[in-house]
Structures are given as C-alpha cells and as structure tokens.
Amino acid sequence: MADVARSAGVSTMTVSNVINGRPRVGAATRERVLAAINELGYQVNLAARHLRAGRTGVVGLAVPELERPYFGQLASRLADRFEAQGLRIVMERTGASREGEMDAVAFSRLRMYDGLILSVVDIDPAELAQIRTDAPVVMIGERALPSGFDHVMMDNVDGARQATAHLLATGARRIAMLGGDPTGSANMPALRAEGYALAHTQAGVPMEPDLAVRCRFRLQDGYDEVRRLIERGIGFDAVFALTDLVAIGALRALADAGLRVPDDVQVVGFDDIDEAPYLVPSLSTVNPGHEEMADAITALLLAQLNGGGPTRDPQELIVPAHLIRRGTTKPVD
Amino acid sequence: MADVARSAGVSTMTVSNVINGRPRVGAATRERVLAAINELGYQVNLAARHLRAGRTGVVGLAVPELERPYFGQLASRLADRFEAQGLRIVMERTGASREGEMDAVAFSRLRMYDGLILSVVDIDPAELAQIRTDAPVVMIGERALPSGFDHVMMDNVDGARQATAHLLATGARRIAMLGGDPTGSANMPALRAEGYALAHTQAGVPMEPDLAVRCRFRLQDGYDEVRRLIERGIGFDAVFALTDLVAIGALRALADAGLRVPDDVQVVGFDDIDEAPYLVPSLSTVNPGHEEMADAITALLLAQLNGGGPTRDPQELIVPAHLIRRGTTKPVD
DNA sequence: TTGAAAGCGCTAACAA
DNA sequence: TTGTTAGCGCTTTCAA
C-alpha cells in the first residue's frame, strides 16, 4: 500500500480511502490511486486488515468428516443463511477426535473466525466447560452438555423412538440396531439406542442383545454388520440404522442375501439425507429437523456476533425430529 | 500478550518464546509465564501472527457446492494429504458462479490462505488469465484453459466415451444423455457430450437429438428428465447420466415407471461416488481417477508453496478415467 | 479533501 | 537467558 501511495503521490490513508470506497476523496486523486493500484497489481492484505478490525467476516463450521452427506447438506443450508448476512462459511474437519475438536475451538479463539459452529463428537464435556473463550461458538449435534455454550441438538432419543415404534407397529418383532454404542452415555449412538429401547418398553416387546450391533457410520459398516448378522444366523425382521449411510449399506447386504425390502426385512435410517427419497426402494428415515436446526444455529450465532460474545445465558435448543415413511417400511396395519 | 508479560514480570519476547516452545528460557521463568497465561486466559492472536509470518498454514478448497458428494469426498482425500504436511484444508463454496469463483481467488490472494484449490465452473478463461496473482493456486475440474495456472483435470471426454461405448457394446442403441449442454464448449457437460458423440461415431451408431437432455446436476433433475422422456414417449434403452447424482435420480424415475434396470434400460453415471457400489442395483459409473487427482493436486500445490509461488511453467495434467462396470449395465455379449 | 501519527499483536534480529 | 527495537500492512483519530 505504501508503494501505491508513493507511486500515486498521496498518503497511504488516501489509498485506504479509495480502496474502501469512502466518500471524501477527490475524483482526480481517486483516478491516480486506482491507476497506481492497477499498475502495481496491488492487493489488500487481509491479515493486516483483520488485525486492525478485530474481525474476519468468516464463520467456521467444524464437522467430524467432510464427506458425510449430512454435514455437506447442513453446510449448504448454513451457507445460504450466513451469506445473506454478508458472512462467509468455511468448513473444516475435526476427524471426530478430541484433538481435532479442541483445535477447531483454538483456531476460532485465535481470531481466524468471527464465530464457530462445532459439531462435537469426542470431546469431553468437562473439558469443554473448561475452555475459556469469549469467541462466539455454537455447538451442535449431541445431547445437553454442561458446557456453557449455546447448543442446538436434534432430538436423537425421540427420533429413534419414533423409528422403532413405527417398525413395531408394522409388526416387526426382531429389530436389529446398527450403530448402537452400549458404552457411552452422552453420545449420539447411545441416545439413539435409548430411543430404540424406549420404544420397545412402551410396546412391551423384549429386546434381544444380539440384535444391537455396534458399528461406525460408513456405508461399509452397515453392509458388513448386516452380512455378519445373516451369516451368524441371527434372525431379524427389521433394521434400524443409526444413520442413512449405514442404512444404504444395510440395504445392499439385504439385497445380496436375497431378502426383500420391506416384505422380508424393513429398514429405517436416520438423517433424511437428500438421497433418501431417490433410493429404490426409497428410504424411510428420521428427519432431524434440518431447516429448523439451521435456523436456530444461525440465529444463536448471529446473536452472539452482534452481542460481541456469549453475553446471554447459554441457550439449549432441542429441535423436534419426525419420521418420514417411505418405501423401506410397511404401512401400519 | 503485553498483559501476560507485565503480570509475569518479563518481556513480551519471553512470553512469545514460552508460547512457541523455544528452548532458551529458564525453567522458573517459563513457569511464571505459564501461570500468568493461565490466570489471564490469554490466547494468541493468529491474525497478528500471520501478519508477521506472512503465512497462515491454511489451504482453501473452493467448490461449486458443499453438498455434492463428489466434492465432499475429494475434500476428504485432500485433507488427508495436506494434514500430513501440517496444513489445514478449509472448504468453501463458490455457488458455481463467476463472482463466487473470483471471490475465492481474491480471498486467497488476500492472504487468508497460503494456497487455493479452485474448482472452476463458470469463470471465463480470458478473465482467469487476467487475474494477476502470485499466490499459489491449482485449478481443477474442467478442460485445458489458457489460464496460466496449474491445472488438474479428469479426462471427461474419454470417460464419457468409455461409458457410452460400453453401453453400445452391450447392445444399447438409443442412449439418453442427461446433463449434456449443447451450448458451452469448454465446460464439463460439453466435454462429456463430446465423449458421448465420439463413441457413437466410432461405433457407427447414429445419435438422436431428442435423447440429449440438458439438465443440472441434482437428484431431482435426473428424476424429472427421465420422467419427461418417458411421458413424451421417447424410447430409450440406456441412460448416460453426466453425474452419479443424476443417475440416482434417473434410477428412481425408471423404477417408478416399472422399467427394470439393466434389462429394460441400462444406466451409467459419472464420478464413482462412494455410494455407487451400494445402490441396488449397484451403479456402473466412470471413476475419474480420484486418488491420482488428489495426489496430483497436492503435489502441484506443495511445489508452489515451497517454491514461493508459481515459479515453474504452469503444469496441466489430465488424469485417466476408467469405467467401473456394476449392476446397472449388462455384461458385454 | 488530504495527511501524519499511532498502534492493532506478534516475532526476527540483535543487544545486554 | 532475557530484553529492546523495529516493523509486518492496515485503519482510526485528529490535524492541516
């Protein structure tokens, strides 16, 4: 900028004024400055501007994995909303690890982002609470954490309960659950497992431990675990997959085994990803309230941004989930 | 930092040394500084550090849409590679618009990113060439552009040719093409359309203009266009979808119409997204060389980063594509 | 309408 | 081992 100023025979301040389109600059001066900028190929240094301004205009979205459809679709919804406010959304991954998640918080604390939306998976609630940050942060995804952060959750328990209840109502009695994590307590698999158990209790149907299979959230995992159930001769008449991706893998394994969906085995997923209605048969799944979540996240973060940090008491919001009945489940009798 | 220094009774330089783990600091001093940091809740300001260092350790990946599986999966591959080099990948969207793409370049030029990977869709080649930037940039996605940037492409023409040739070899004679853009010349749809045409010419099979349908790359578009073809009574015995997402939409429309795949209508997609092998029937598609592209992109960008900019002549790389035969196509006789 | 001075928070280079 | 100085590139404030 100093070069430009020198070349145009003005002060850096005038250059700054021209660049930022501030009014009180003479036309001739402006011309000269613009010419110099052009000639020298000058470009603003944002790092410096941010240092000065104390803000970046960027909102970070940190998710476990960049390739999970759910997160891509969430990012897209958030980007729509934040762009309308003149803010950029950038997405990065934490690798679903404690470190990655702490890193993301650190990164935003460190003023690269004006605000951060963090999908927490592996971080310890106690550890979270310890983080001292005055940077705007909204947490998403898991259950109520005693963390002191704004927090938007989907209703994992009730969504899973609805899915399982529907399967039971359509006559299923042996429902395999793919992805349940019997160990954790506040994490997503545990919550969805809770809903699965709740529906069984409410319907007075006993659960079979062999049918609760722990697995990760990839296509391959759903496929492998269903195959394994079949090979082990463990009979089941329905599958509740903890994510749609797992459900897609399961559907493939069922087809390979010659089992018809939904006649022999019904399937319900969770997430209602964009692809769900287009599968053959179309996937019944739990819609976690996509638009409402995006709205809530946006509103909470904007409130913090405008308020200069987490001034209010931390908000906790649970967005209602609802079951979408499609082709992989039978109609209720 | 000054506060910390004052509180610990040392200079800011010593604080800096402690924070960055530099060796020559007395143990007692270090303790005192750490205590002060802790007590004051001090956090480094990265904007300042970047201003100083002239680099950010971040590589930007700008793609048309965050929710397209292809890009999520590409991002994941790139993140693996760059993280191994101690660099963060952050992903943002351009909206497939000229402005968005120019913005992305501007943003990186402006030193928010050490380097940028840009998936170009809508930007004008001439305009691109004009951009004066000494920031490391690698372009991906489209055909050779006279742009002066490093550029990694998939082999759109040959991939489409292989897909179409396979359909012709299995007996298909009326192949609908979904997504072809008859107008553009250097863009992806046009290139894939070129491969489609080439295969017809080589096989001596005439093309039917009604079968080349222009559409966008969403699930819904594939669905709508196939429905429309059927409603208009335009017969076809195969579909070449310009992306896998479009293919998935098409498969759904075929199923709705009671057409069996691959017996009545064969289908081939393009991209080989992770979901393709898990569909029922599994999707035959063109693998554009995922790993090779990620390797090439990483190598080119790292070379620029280490060389301090685009010092070499710009490189252009075309990664070979290959057809993956799965369940939506018939075996060759 | 324009400019000079000061400082955002950090660290390289050098001095003590 | 620790401290001083200077400056990265920008913009706010105040003066001309």
Q: Which pTM was predicted? A: 0.90
- Is residue A325 in a domain? no
CA A194 → CA A11, A156, A187, A246, A297, distances in Å?
67, 9, 11, 18, 25
User: How many domains in chain B?
Assistant: 3
- Is residue A316 in a domain? yes
pLDDT for position B314:
85
Which tens digit of pLDDT belongs to each residue from A245-258?
999 999 999 999 99
Q: Are residues B148 and B210 in the same domain?
A: no
Q: Are residues A162 and A133 in the same domain?
A: no
Tell me, letter by letter, the H, E, C secondary structure of B101-165: HHHHHHHHHCCCCCEEEEECCCCCHHHHHHCCCCCCEEEECCCCCCCCCEEEEECHHHHHHHHHH
Tell me, letter by letter, the H, E, C secondary structure of chain A: CHHHHHHHCCCHHHHHHHHCCCCCCCHHHHHHHHHHHHHHCCCCCHHHHHHHHCCCCEEEEEECCCCCHHHHHHHHHHHHHHHCCCCEEEEEECCCCHHHHHHHHHHHHCCCCCEEEEECCCCCHHHHHHCCCCCCEEEECCCCCCCCCEEEEECHHHHHHHHHHHHHHCCCCCEEEECCCCCCCCCHHHHHHHHHHHHHHHHCCCCCHHHEECCCCCHHHHHHHHHHHHHCCCCCCEEEECCHHHHHHHHHHHHHCCCCCCCCCEEEEECCCCCHHHCCCCCEEEECCHHHHHHHHHHHHHHHHHHCCCCCCCCEEEECCEEECCCCCCCCC
Q: Are residues B77 and B141 in the same domain?
A: yes
**Using the beta-carbon criterion (under 8 Å), do A278 and B219 form an inter-chain contact?**
yes
- Is residue B333 in a domain? no
CA-based nearest distance A72→chain B, Å: 4
- Report yes or no: A215 and A225 within 8 Å, Cβ to Cβ: yes
**Using the beta-carbon criterion (under 8 Å), do B67 and A76 form an inter-chain contact?**
yes
Q: Are residues A269 and A301 in the same domain?
A: no
- Is residue A333 in a domain? no
- B186 or A330: which leads in pLDDT: A330
Q: Are residues A160 and A265 in the same domain?
A: yes
Q: Are residues B34 and B145 in the same domain?
A: no
Q: Are residues A30 and A92 in the same domain?
A: no
Q: Are residues A162 and A136 in the same domain?
A: no
- Is residue A30 in a domain? yes
Across B308-333, b (16+ Cβ under 10 Å) vs e yields eebeeebbebbbebebbebbbbbeee
Residue A244 has pLDDT above 70, yes or no: yes
Which tens digit of pLDDT belongs to each residue from B94-140?
887 777 777 777 666 566 788 899 998 877 666 666 665 677 889 99
Q: Are residues A174 and A249 in the same domain?
A: yes
pLDDT for position B109:
59
CA-based nearest distance A153→chain B, Å: 21
**Confidence label for A233 from pLDDT (cuts 50, 70 and 90):** very high
Q: Are residues A19 and A84 in the same domain?
A: no
**Confidence label for B188 from pLDDT (cuts 50, 70 and 90):** confident
Q: Are residues B106 and B164 in the same domain?
A: no
How many CB pairs below 8 A link A and B? 139
Q: Are residues A133 and A161 in the same domain?
A: no
Mean pLDDT value across residues B205-211:
94
Of B69, B90, B280, the CB nearest to A91: B90
- Is residue A89 in a domain? yes
CA distance A66 to A182: 26
Q: How far is CA B157 from the centre of its chain?
A: 17
Interface test with B, best of A44, A49, A50, A68 (most B CBs within 10 A): A50
| Mean pLDDT of all residues belonging to chain B | 89
pLDDT for position B241:
97
Q: Is the CB of B16 under 7 A from strand C?
A: yes
Residue A192 has pLDDT above 60, yes or no: yes
- Is residue A33 in a domain? yes
- Report yes or no: A202 and A166 within 8 Å, Cβ to Cβ: no
**Confidence label for B56 from pLDDT (cuts 50, 70 and 90):** confident
The CATH number that applies at residue B274 is 3.40.50.2300
- Is residue B330 in a domain? no
Phi, psi (degrees; rounded to nearest 5) at A151: -155, 120
Number of alpha helices (DSSP H) and beta strands (DSSP E) in chain B = 12, 12
pLDDT for position B205:
96
Residues 248-267 in B contacting A (C-alpha not used; CB under 8 Å): 248-249, 251-252, 255
Residue B317: helix, strand or coil by DSSP? strand
Mean pLDDT value across residues B284-312:
88
The CATH number that applies at residue A33 is 1.10.260.40
CA distance B104 to B121: 13
Of A44, A71, A88, the CB nearest to B110: A44
By 3-state DSSP, what share of chain B in percent is helix, strand and coil, each rounded to 5?
A: 45, 15, 40
A42-51, A300-309, A315-324, B308-317 — which one is most confidently predicted on average? Answer: A315-324
Window A47-76, strand C contacts by Cβ < 7 Å: 48, 51-52
Q: How far is the CA of B1 from the C1' of D7 (A)?
A: 17
Handedness of CA A127, A129, A133, A137 (dihedral sign): positive
Interface test with A, best of B66, B77, B116, B130 (most A CBs within 10 A): B66
* CB proximity A223 to B under 8 Å: yes
Q: Which residues of B touch A91 (CB under 8 A)?
A: 66, 75, 90-92
Residue nearest to nucleotide C2 (CA to C1'): A14
Q: B255 to chain A: nearest residue by CA?
A: A280
**Confidence label for A114 from pLDDT (cuts 50, 70 and 90):** confident
Residue A109 has pLDDT above 60, yes or no: no
| Mean pLDDT of all residues belonging to chain A | 89
Q: Which of A118-132, B150-164, B292-306 has the lowest mean pLDDT?
A: A118-132
Which domain does B196 fall in, by range?
156-287
Residues 200-219 in B contacting A (C-alpha not used; CB under 8 Å): 219
Of A72, A132, A275, the CB nearest to B41: A132
